[in-house]
Structure 1
Amino acid sequence: MGQLDGKTAVVTGGSSGIGLATAVRLADEGSYVFVTGRREAELEAAVKAIGTDRATAVAGDISTLEDLDRLYAAVRARGNGLDVLVANAAVGAFVTLEQTTAEHFDQTFAINVRGTLFTVQKALPLLNDGASIVLIGSTAADRGVEAFGAYAASKAAVRSFARTWSNELRHRGIRVNVVSPAWIETPGGTAAFGDDETARTVKENVAATVARGRMGQPEEAAAVVTFLASEQSSYVVGANFYVDGGANQI
């Protein structure tokens, strides 16, 4: 038996990286998983990876309220409510203060902050009492990484949401927690570094400075998300779990 047998889960940004690894792990633990993302071809591939009998893909952009409505209409139609919500979808790019444009700021906050807020708000009528919400943050929220200001600020907002929402939802027994990864080897993270040579240099630098001596894998973040989704973390509320190889800790 899995830790999440009979549960229903939603994973946003579930077509690759941490989102896909999380969707696979939740399904392996017994959940039926709804995954959403902006690229239909990748979503279809994700459902095959998860298991076509264990997942449904709903294409959409979390910054578009109509797309969120379509996602939750699909969840509602299944008739079992929602037990686990993983708000993972996000965007990020290295842009200095001097280079920041209104478009870059608006896109970052529209998806990472506004999208996360309405992902959770629109799920509220479906969330079963005792459900678990896991927000994907970032160690960038705690560090002054050069040229990552808008992204870092957006993830600091996500961390703040978890505290407020934990208080607002406690009367329903709904727990809200954050997983903050760093240096996870994902397609999106690699693309943010720019060209292949830069990505290789970054990975070598991480290996030389992080206690674990390597980049993290999406499955390692997914394992922590699964812990927070399950009853094994029943007394954990409003917390922030770092999955960073020790980068922010030592």
Structure 2
Amino acid sequence: MGQFDGKTALVTGATSGIGLAAARRLAAEGAHVFVTGRRQDVLDEAVAALGGQATGVRADVANLDDLDRVVAAISARGAGLDILFANAGGGEFAALSDVTWQHYADTFNTNVGGTLFTVQKALPLLNRGASVILTSSNIDVKGAGSFSVYAASKAALRSFARSWAAELVGQGIRVNAIAPGPIETPGLSGLAGDPAEAEQLLKGLAAGVPMNRLGKPDEIADAVLFLASDASSFMTGAEIYVDGGASQI
């Protein structure tokens, strides 16, 4: 018996890294997990890895029509939604002098707009007692050169968690955020231009963590399971930093 037997979950951006790790853990604990990703071939691989407990829906969270298809698939199952992990997002380095409108729009449309409309469209499906979890970042309380647009988008998600928690508490729906530090994922390595630059980037990021290492996706998934479960039943509007102490020490 898993702690999420009979529960339904949605994890966006679930084809690799944090999203895939969280989806795997939720499925292992008995939840039926709907997972999204932008590339059908990679999504199919993720669903196959998750086994019979998963349903994949190809979707870009910045596309409202795609989000409608995700919600329709969950609705058709007829069990509502108990866990929503709005995880899809991303960003690129850009110094202030180099920021373009497209860079800003791409980052905010995915990270902020994608999260906003994922939660909004899923709202009618959320069962009483549901847990909504947003992927923020420890950069929402730190300064980072050449990463200001990304940092601002994550600060917006921290604000969403507080406001939505206040708005939905009367419906028995909890909203919390997870703020990872640097996590060893394909997305993090992808910020660099080539493998040599990626190695330098990861070493530099690890050196800035008090624990002197990068985090692992499963370590974030542990926090997701905590916020999704009754173990966090007296938590809403909170943000958990899972960053090796980087934002605290």
TM-score band, normalised by shorter chain: over 0.9
**Structure 1: how far apart are the matches of 2:191 and 2:230?**
35
Superposition map of 1:110-149 within 5 A = 110-149=109-148
**Structure 2: how far apart are the matches of 1:189 and 1:201?**
12
* Contact residue 177 and residue 238 of structure 1 kept, 8 A: yes
1:203 aligns with: 202
- What is the deviation of 1:195? 1.8
Any stretches of 5+ residues in structure 1 without a counterpart? none
Q: What letter corresponds to residue 80 of structure 1 in structure 2?
A: A
- What is the deviation of 1:143? 1.1
**Structure 2: how far apart are the matches of 1:208 and 1:99?**
27
Any stretches of 5+ residues in structure 2 without a counterpart? none
Superposition map of 1:97-108 within 5 A = 97-108=96-107
- What is the deviation of 1:208? 3.2
TM-score by length of 1: 0.97
- What is the deviation of 1:211? 2.3
- What is the deviation of 1:4? 1.1
Q: What letter corresponds to residue 194 of structure 1 in structure 2?
A: G
**Structure 1: how far apart are the matches of 2:198 and 2:120?**
36
**Structure 1: how far apart are the matches of 2:187 and 2:56?**
20
Length, aligned pairs only: 249
- What is the deviation of 1:88? 0.4
List, as ranges, runs of 4+ consecutive aligned residues in structure 1 with deviation greater than 6 Å.
none
Q: What letter corresponds to residue 115 of structure 1 in structure 2?
A: G
SS at match of 2:190: helix
* Contact residue 189 and residue 202 of structure 2 kept, 8 A: no
SS at match of 2:106: helix
SS at match of 2:85: strand
Q: What letter corresponds to residue 46 of structure 1 in structure 2?
A: A
Q: What letter corresponds to residue 36 of structure 2 in structure 1?
A: T
- What is the deviation of 1:80? 0.3
Alignment deviations for residues 127-164 of structure 1 (CA, whole Å, 9 cap, x no partner): 00110000000111111111001100000000000000
- What is the deviation of 1:194? 2.5
Q: Determine whether 1:46 maps to 2:10.
A: no
Larger mean Cα displacement after TM superposition, 186-195 or 164-173: 186-195
2:80 aligns with: 81
SS at match of 2:25: helix
* Contact residue 203 and residue 214 of structure 1 kept, 8 A: no
Alignment RMSD (CA, Å): 0.9
- What is the deviation of 1:193? 2.6
Alignment deviations for residues 13-36 of structure 1 (CA, whole Å, 9 cap, x no partner): 011110000100110111000001
1:215 aligns with: 214
Q: What letter corresponds to residue 48 of structure 2 in structure 1?
A: K
**Structure 2: how far apart are the matches of 1:74 and 1:105?**
31
SS at match of 1:169: helix
1:241 to 1:154, Cα distance in 2 relative to 1, 3 A = same
- What is the deviation of 1:176? 0.2
TM-score by length of 2: 0.98
2:158 aligns with: 159
